[in-house]
Amino acid sequence: MTHSPSHRSVPKRRSARRVRSVALACTAVFVTFLTSCAGSQAPTSTAVKNNAGGRPGAVDPGLGAGGGDEWKKATGSRIRVNQVGYLPTGPKGATVVTRSNEPLPWQLRDANGRVVAGGRSTPRGTDQASGQNVQTVDFSRYDRQGRGYTLRMDGQTSLPFDISAQNYAKLRNSAFRFFYHQRSGTPILASLVGEKYARPAGHVGVGANGDDSDVPCQPGVCKYRLDVHGGWYDAADHGKYVVNGGLAVSQLFGTWERAKHSRTGDPKALGDGTLSIPEHRNGVPDVLDEARWEMEFLLRMQVPSGNPLAGMAHHKMHDRAWTGLPMAPQDDPQPRELHRPSTAATLNLAAAGAQCARVFAPYDKAFANRCLGAAKTAWAAAKRHPKLYAPDSDSTGGGAYGDANVTDEFYWAAAELALTTGERPYLDAMRASPLHKAQVFTPVGFGWQSVAPVARLDLATVPGKVPASERRAAQASVVRAANSYLATQRGQAYGLPMPGGPEYYGWGSNSNVLNNLAVLSTAYDITGKDAYRTGALQGMDYLLGRNALNQSYVTGYGKKVSHNLHSRAFAHELDKRLPPPPPGFLAGGPNTALQDPVAQQRLAGCKPQLCYVDDIQSYSTNEYAINWNSALVWMTSFVADQGTGAGRGRV
C-alpha cells in the first residue's frame, strides 16, 4: 500500500447516491440569514441565535476571497472550543480566528463570569485547512470541574462548555443508540426512544412495503430467494450493504474487546443493561446485542450450499430504484433485490464472523460456532473466487460500494481467523500477504475500502492465538503510525491528526479523523504514554466544535450543531411533522469534492474545513452512515473511559 492521500482508503465516493426524484429545495444554510425563493419558504436561520460573542453576518477575518458565498459568512464566535467540554485530566485547547499576529491575552471564566485562569495565546499564522489566520489557547492546567465555562479573547466570548469527568458517558450512549434507530425489520419502540422517534417496523411486507424476509435477486444473478431481514439501514437510504456492515459491526465488536483488554477499559460501561435496546437485561453485554442485530443479517446474506457461488456473500440488497426524501422505512414502496455476490463482501463476512466467534463464546456458544462456521465457509469461497469484484456501475437504487482491490480484505479476514483459531492456514495466509509487513496506516485514515488497519489494530491488542512475535510487530506498527499522526497533529492549528490539504477532506472526512484517533488511543493502550492519550483526546475537540466552522458535527451535542442531516426518515427540514435526527448521529463532514448540487452551489472555492453545509440535500457533506457512527462509538467509549479512570486489564 502507498502512503498517499490518493490511495484507495479515501472514503467511499457515493456520487451515485443522488436523489434524482426530488427537486432541490431552496433552504437556508446554518450560516445564512433568511432567504426564500418561488414556491418555497426557507426555514428560520440559526445564524443569529447560535452566535455567542460574534457579530451576526460578519465575515471571519482571514478567510480570503473568491469562490462561493456561504462558506465566507459568519460562523459565530471566533473562539472555537469543544462545545461538549473537556476532561479534568486531559488537554484543553481552543483555536481563535483573529487578524492579530501577536500573542493576545485570554481569560477563562466560570459560569458566574469570574476569571479563573488566564494567559497569552500562541500565534499560528494562516491555517492551510481553513485559510484563516489563527492563534491557539492552551488552558490544560486548569482542572476544576464545572459547567458553563467560557473563554474570552480578542473581544470575543466562546460558546459555553463544561469541564467534567462525565462529559462523554452520555455521548457514548447516544452514539450507540444510533444503531437501534437504524434497525430494519423491527418496530422502534416509544418506551425506548420516546414517541417522537418511535416507528413501525420497516420492510416487513405490510401494504406496499417490501418484505426483506423473501427477497429475489436481480435478474440474471440467482434463481433463489433469501430471508435477509434485520440488520441496519446503511445511511440515509434503506439499503443494507455487507462491506459497510462488516466494518461497522467489527468496530462495535472491537469496542467491546478494547473495554475488556485495555489498561483503561471499562466493560461494565458497555455491559448488560447499559443501553436502551429491547435485549436489555438478557445476560449479554448490550454492545454485543446491538452488534448481533447486524451480524445476523450478514450471515443471512451468504449464498446457500448447493447453489453456484455457495459460501460467497451477496454484496448488498436494496430498493430497485431510488426513493425521494422524505421516506420512512415502513412507507418505502420499492421492490427489494439482492445484488450479486462479491469477494469483498465474502471476506467481510469471514472477518466479522471470526471476530463474532471470539466475543460471543462466553455468552452464546452456539451462535459463536455459527459465526465461525460461516467465516470459514466464506474464507474458502473467497479463495475459490478471488476476483469477483463489485462494480462502481451498480448504483441504481443504492450505493455501488465498488471495490476492485481485495488484498486488504484477504489480509483482514486471515488475521481475524488466525486470532480466533490459531490454525496454520490462516496464519500462513496472513504472513503471506504483501500487507503483513507494510505500513498500512495512511494520513487520510481508513474505511470500508481499506480495512488492513483493522487487522493491524486487532493483532496489536486482542489476546488471541497468534504468536507473541506477531503481536509485538503489530504493536510496533501501530506506535509508528501514532507517532506520525502526532507529528501531523502538532502542525494543525485545529488539533486534528490529518493534514490540511484539500485531498485529505473527502466524503465522510469526519470518520477518517476518528479512525486516526483510534490509532492514537490504541498506541496509548499499548504503551501507556500520555502523549498518545493527549493526542486522542485533543482530536475529539475538532468534531465537537473546535474547527473552522465552529460546528459540532454530532447531533444534539453542542450549541452550534449539525441538525439537518441528509435523511429520509428524519427529514424535519422538508416536513415539520417529522423529527430531526436523534442525538448522537455523526455528520460526514467537509468534502472538497462538492459532490452534490447544494454543495456545488453554495461552497464553490471553499477551503477544506469550510466545505460543509448543514442542509438535508447536501448528501456529500451532511449524510450519516453506520461505519461513521461505529468509529464514533469506538472513540467516545475510549474518551469516556479516560474520564472514569476505570481499568480492568493490561494490553
Helix H or strand E encompassing 208: none
The pairing of strands 85-86 and 161-163 is parallel
How far is Cα 75 from Cα 69, in angstroms, rounded to an integer?
13
Catalytic residue among 294, 614, 615, 641: 614
Distance, CA of 643 to CA of 166 (rounded, Å): 6
Burial track 260-270 (b if 16+ CB lie within 10 A, e otherwise)? bbbbbbbbebb
In one-letter notation, the amino acid at residue 244 is N
Cell 481499568 -> residue: 647
Distance CA 373, CA 108 (A): 58
In this structure, the strands spanning 215-216 and 225-226 are antiparallel
Cβ(204)–Cβ(185) below 8 Å: yes
The residue to which cell 430504484 is assigned? 321
Cis, bond preceding 326 (omega within 30 deg of 0):
yes
Spatial separation of the C-alpha atoms in residues 91 and 78, rounded to whole Å: 20
DSSP string of 552-573? Answer: B-BTTSSSSB----B-STT-TT
One-letter identity of residue 516: N
Residue 353 near residue 378 (C-beta atoms within 8 A): yes
Q: For the chain, how many residues are written?
A: 651
Identify the CA nearest to 616 among candidates 559, 576, 558, 563. Answer: 563
Catalytic residue among 234, 286, 623, 641: 623
Q: How far apart are CA 520 and CA 534, in angstroms?
A: 9
CB 145: neighbour CB atoms within 10 A?
Answer: 15
Other beta carbons less than 10 A from residue 388's beta carbon: 19
The residue type found at 538 is: Q
Kindly give the residue spans of alpha helices, DSSP state H, lying in 301-423. Answer: 343-360, 365-384, 407-421
Closest among 442, 418, 647 to 524, alpha carbons compared: 647
Q: Is 314 exposed, middle or buried (0-12, 13-18, 19+ CB in 10 A)?
A: buried
The amino acid occupying position 288 is L
**The C-alpha cell of 83 is what?**
462545545
Surface-to-core class of residue 65, CB atoms within 10 Å of its CB (0-12 exposed, 13-18 middle, 19+ buried): exposed
Nearest to 74 by CA among 541, 407, 551, 392: 551
614 catalytic residue (yes or no): yes
Q: Residue 450 forms beta bridges with which residues?
A: 447
- Bridge partners of residue 216, in order along the sequence: 225
Residues serving a catalytic function are 614, 623
